[in-house]
Amino acid sequence: MLGVKRIADAGYKLFSGSMMLLTVYGGYLCVLRAHRYMQKQKQLAAQSETTETVKD
């Protein structure tokens, strides 16, 4: 029975580790997307300012 417990513990640790990695990777993707969004907003604002200056 000791072998079964060790297998179960190893499976639990493997599952927990993979969930941690997925969580970290998901956080990375979220931060990356937010960064791209902010860059796009800055780019659009700068483009808007230049077109308003040209119109005046």
Q: Residue 1 gets which letter from DSSP?
A: -
Instruction: Tell me the two tokens of residue 48.
Output: 């808007």
- How far is the C-alpha of 23 from the C-alpha of 35, rounded, in Å? 18
Residues 6+ apart with CB under 8 A from 45: none
Q: Quick: pLDDT tens for 37-47.
A: 999 999 999 99
Residue 56 has pLDDT above 60, yes or no: no
Write out pLDDT tens, residues 5-55. Answer: 999 999 999 999 999 999 999 999 999 999 999 999 999 999 988 877 766
Q: Report pLDDT for 54.
A: 63
Domain boundaries, the chain: 25-51
pTM (two decimals)? 0.70
